[in-house]
Amino acid sequence: SVNDAPSFVKGPDPTVLEDAGAQTVAGWATAISAGPADESGQTLTFNVTGNTNPALFAAGPAISPTGTLTFTPAADANGSATITLALMDNGGTANGGVDTSAAQTFVINASTNKVYGKLAHLGVVERNGRYEYADHPNGVAETEQLDFYSPYGCSKGVADQYTIDYARIYGLKTVTFRQSCIYGERQLGIEDQGWVAWFAIAATLGKQLTIYGDGKQIRDVLDVRDLVRAYEMAYNARDSISGTAYNIGGGPANTMSLLELLAHLEQVTGQPIPRVYAPPRPGDQPVFVCDVRSAEVALAWKPEIRVTEGVRHLIDWVRANPELFAWMK
């Protein structure tokens, strides 16, 4: 008899935060099959045949015969990687048999709202002790002109446009998420990255915070659990949305100023948060709120976790894992 090719269905592209540690996703690959019933006894092995960004990992992706995905991100690394994998059986290739499944790949690029630049042309007003857009109640849409402001914005903007163009020119299935401020458990936030988590960690430990500017700056923030749902929905809709970009954030319903977050954290922790003020950082936007209506239509997705609920969940995680922050005391 002639060996038939094995097959499988890969799971959603995983999203993890920087310095998240070892990851295990049970049942990531499903519908794993050696072929027809007479080949069910064959041994199956997943082979990773390509990795476009090995430096992103301390231990590269691997998939067990039962479909469990494991990998460990490298310390202080961020970005995206395209992983190519195939399933192989031990039935051989005699008489034209096929022992390897078709390779499967998919890419989601994690971009940023910084591709829109400082947005100095948008009217900003102060209301109730916070900055707001004068006439953009739904936030900034994907139709806003790109302006790669700051070296950080330039690096993200280039990746954003490459991802879109590879779909247009080469037919690669890609989608870009222009993400606003993401926060959540397992995020080891520091002053320069992951500000919501950094504020929550510092508040729990009684550390002094530096506020750059007057603290009235507004951001829309998104719980990572809502972000993961967006990634899963993008994977499921990959054929119809390839080559597009979507704003993914908390939207107008989930905005906070720096001072408002501090007040909320003081209420949750029951202790004052020491702070000092410093001049605003170059390129910092006084307001950024993303318009997420395009993602709502294309992905049937919208944020579900309110920021106050998400921050309390984050504080609970910080309190439950003091060993992760012992070095900061």
- CA torsion through residues 319, 75, 254, 296, sign: negative
Exactly one of 149, 152, 162, 277 is catalytic; which is it? Answer: 152
Q: Check if the beta carbon of residue 224 is closer than 8 Å to that of residue 182.
A: yes
Reported as a single tens digit per residue, the pLDDT across 16-67 is 766 667 888 899 999 999 999 999 999 999 999 888 888 888 888 899 999 9
- Which of the two residues, 111 and 325, has the higher pLDDT score? 325
Q: Is a pLDDT exceeding 80 seen at residue 210?
A: yes
Average pLDDT, stretch 262-287? 91
Reported confidence tier of residue 145, pLDDT bands at 50, 70, 90: confident
Mean pLDDT for the chain overall = 88
Reported confidence tier of residue 199, pLDDT bands at 50, 70, 90: very high
pLDDT of residue 235: 87
**Among 219, 227, 209, CA closest to 113:** 219
pLDDT of residue 198: 92
Q: How far apart are CA 63 and CA 26, in angstroms?
A: 10
Reported confidence tier of residue 146, pLDDT bands at 50, 70, 90: confident
pLDDT of residue 151: 83
Average pLDDT, stretch 296-315? 94
Residue 87: strand, helix, or coil: strand
Q: Is a pLDDT exceeding 70 seen at residue 107?
A: no
* Extended strands (E) in the chain: 7-9, 23-25, 30-33, 44-51, 57-63, 69-73, 83-89, 107-110, 124-127, 130-133, 174-179, 181-183, 209-212, 218-223, 244-248, 255-257, 275-278, 287-288
pLDDT of residue 254: 95
Give the percent of the chain with pLDDT over 70.
Answer: 95
Reported as a single tens digit per residue, the pLDDT across 56-80 is 888 888 999 999 999 888 876 767 8
Q: Supply angle C-alpha 277, 263, 131, rounded to 5.
A: 65
* DSSP assignments along 38-55, one per residue: GGTTS-EEEEEEEES-GG
Q: What is the DSSP letter of 25?
A: E
Q: How far apart are CA 21 and CA 324, in angstroms?
A: 11
Average pLDDT, stretch 191-195? 82
- CATH class, domain 109-328, is alpha beta
Q: How far apart are CA 7 and CA 67, in angstroms?
A: 12
Q: Is a pLDDT exceeding 70 seen at residue 300?
A: yes
Q: Check if the beta carbon of residue 227 is closer than 8 Å to that of residue 248.
A: yes
Active site residue 235: no
Instruction: Please tell me the pTM assigned to this model.
Output: 0.68
**Helix 195-205 with 258-269: angle, nearest 10 deg:** 40
Reported confidence tier of residue 109, pLDDT bands at 50, 70, 90: low
